[in-house]
């Protein structure tokens, strides 16, 4: 990894400006891009969020659908939620745990869509030259953003695939960029990464993926959520955005090479095209990892997946987390309409 050739956002992450915010402290790593329109936070270069966004921008969907986008770039989900709770954005996107934190702290929140759903999104990685495997994690340090869906993932992996408990390992709070560097330097023994950090670490550091989410109860359903008052006042504009987003997902499905090129350009070469392409191929189910497509605007079992995440969080992570009936916080009409309008051939078999 070239530490002397970092983008501004990577420099902020590495210099400590982007600190762990699972406790929702002061906003740190999010960068407001200063545009006008729907105020939206996303986490580049995370595949499920960045790919559709870049398609929308490069294909001029906002102009075609007549809506504006004011994007705020964040490092990971806890920062998105913090920004959302402080009124900095109208629409947020994050994994289950951060999204549930948003609902806990602002019950006037509704889940309107999803940007990714699958078990091939997160991976537990070690250096390729490590002399231990999944069964040898006792006493090892694992880097991940605590309070995020990555924590659900790693706890389920340990619970389902080893004879250990989470108390047998040490969790270190870390964003993905810092985790890749800590692996390269040998500071941490393992890390929970997601795309394209997985592929970037494979190429630049040399890592081995010792577990995906398969064969566990973990399942990533990554909500798109918004405040109720904003939805009531901007229903037509939100529907236009969701239409464009589903169309962008379909474009990604059919144009991996072009989207990978846009991703590389957007990251100023920090994510090379072949790395972005490999990430997209895994997400879309076109590799040896899995044949399931995770770039989905919804999931037929969305409510049960999120309810399972709530239960796990209460039982294994935060006993004081409130009991929530997630069905009270879901409104799928925006996604249903978007699929009908833009991609019934690709997503029409999703049940709502």
Instruction: Read off the CATH number of the domain in which 233 is found.
Output: 3.40.190.10
Q: Which of 211, 236, 271 is the last residue of a domain?
A: 211
Cα end-to-end distance, the chain, whole Å: 44
H or E stretch covering 347: helix 344-347
Cβ-contact 92, 83 below 8 angstroms: yes
Tokens of 75: 């490092």
Structural domain boundaries enclosing 297:
8-118+220-347
User: Same domain for 101 and 229?
Assistant: yes
Rg of the chain in Å (alpha carbons) = 19
What total of structural domains would you count in the chain?
2
**Beta-ladder partners of 173:** 144
| Predicted confidence pLDDT, tens digits, the chain (352 residues) | 443 344 434 433 333 333 233 333 333 468 776 667 899 998 999 999 999 999 999 999 999 999 999 999 998 888 999 999 999 999 999 999 999 999 999 999 999 999 999 999 999 999 999 999 999 999 999 999 998 899 999 999 999 999 999 999 999 999 888 999 999 999 999 999 999 999 999 998 999 999 999 999 999 999 999 999 999 999 999 999 999 999 999 999 999 999 999 999 998 878 999 999 999 999 999 999 999 999 999 999 999 999 999 999 999 999 999 999 999 999 999 999 999 999 999 999 999 9
Based on the fold, state whether residues 173 and 65 are members of the same structural domain: no
In this structure, is residue 2 part of a structural domain?
no
Q: Given 156, 184, 211, which residue is the final one in a domain?
A: 211
| Together in a domain, 261 and 293 | yes
Determine the 3-state secondary structure of 138 from DSSP: coil
237-276 b/e (C-beta count within 10 Å ≥ 16 → b): bbbbbbbbbbbbbbbbbeebeebbbbbbebbeebbbeebb
Beta bridge partners of 193: 123
What is residue 179's three-state secondary structure? Answer: helix
Q: Which of 161, 180, 211 is the last residue of a domain?
A: 211
My answer on whether 109 and 132 are in the same domain is no
Backbone angles phi, psi at 329, to 5 degrees: -120, 20
20 with 63, same domain? Answer: yes
Q: Are residues 99 and 202 in the same domain?
A: no
Q: Is residue 72 a contact partner of residue 33, using CB atoms and an 8 Å limit?
A: yes
Residues 233 and 138 in one domain: no
Q: Is 80 found in the same domain as 177?
A: no
Q: Is the pTM of this model over 0.85?
A: yes
User: Strand runs (DSSP E) across 197-335, as ranges?
Assistant: 207-211, 220-227
Verify that 92 and 229 share a domain, yes or no. yes
Asked if residue 255 belongs to a domain, the reply is yes
């Amino acid at each position: 990894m070239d530490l002397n050739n970092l983008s501004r956002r990577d420099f902020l992450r590495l210099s400590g400006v982007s600190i762990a915010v699972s406790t929702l402290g002061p906003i740190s790593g999010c960068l407001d891009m200063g545009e006008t329109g729907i105020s939206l936070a996303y986490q580049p270069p995370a595949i499920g969020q960045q790919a559709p966004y870049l398609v929308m921008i490069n294909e001029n969907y906002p102009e075609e659908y007549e809506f504006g986008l004011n994007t705020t770039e964040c490092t990971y989900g806890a920062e998105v939620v913090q920004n959302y709770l402080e009124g900095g954005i109208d629409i947020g996107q994050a994994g289950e745990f951060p999204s549930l934190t948003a609902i806990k702290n602002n019950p006037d929140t509704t889940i309107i869509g999803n940007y990714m759903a699958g078990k091939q999104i997160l991976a537990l990685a070690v250096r390729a030259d490590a002399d231990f495997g999944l069964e040898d994690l006792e006493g090892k340090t694992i880097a991940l953003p605590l309070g995020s869906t990555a924590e659900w993932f790693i706890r389920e992996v340990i619970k389902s695939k080893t004879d250990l408990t989470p108390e047998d390992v040490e969790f270190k709070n870390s964003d993905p960029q810092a985790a890749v560097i800590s692996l390269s330097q040998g500071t941490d023994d393992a890390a929970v990464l997601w795309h394209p950090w997985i592929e970037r670490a494979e190429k630049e550091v040399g890592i081995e993926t010792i577990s995906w989410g398969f064969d566990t109860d973990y399942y990533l359903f990554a909500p798109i959520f918004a405040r109720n008052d904003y939805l009531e006042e901007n229903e037509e504009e939100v529907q236009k955005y969701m239409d464009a987003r589903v169309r962008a997902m379909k474009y990604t499905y059919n144009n991996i090479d072009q989207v990978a090129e846009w991703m590389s350009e957007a990251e100023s070469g920090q994510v090379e095209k072949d790395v972005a392409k490999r990430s997209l191929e895994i997400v879309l189910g076109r590799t040896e990892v899995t044949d399931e497509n995770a770039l989905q605007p919804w999931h037929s079992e969305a409510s049960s997946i999120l309810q399972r995440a709530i239960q796990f969080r209460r039982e294994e992570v935060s006993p004081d987390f409130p009991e929530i009936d997630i069905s009270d916080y879901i409104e799928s009409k925006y996604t249903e309409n978007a699929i009908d309008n833009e991609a019934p051939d690709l997503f029409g078999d999703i049940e709502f």
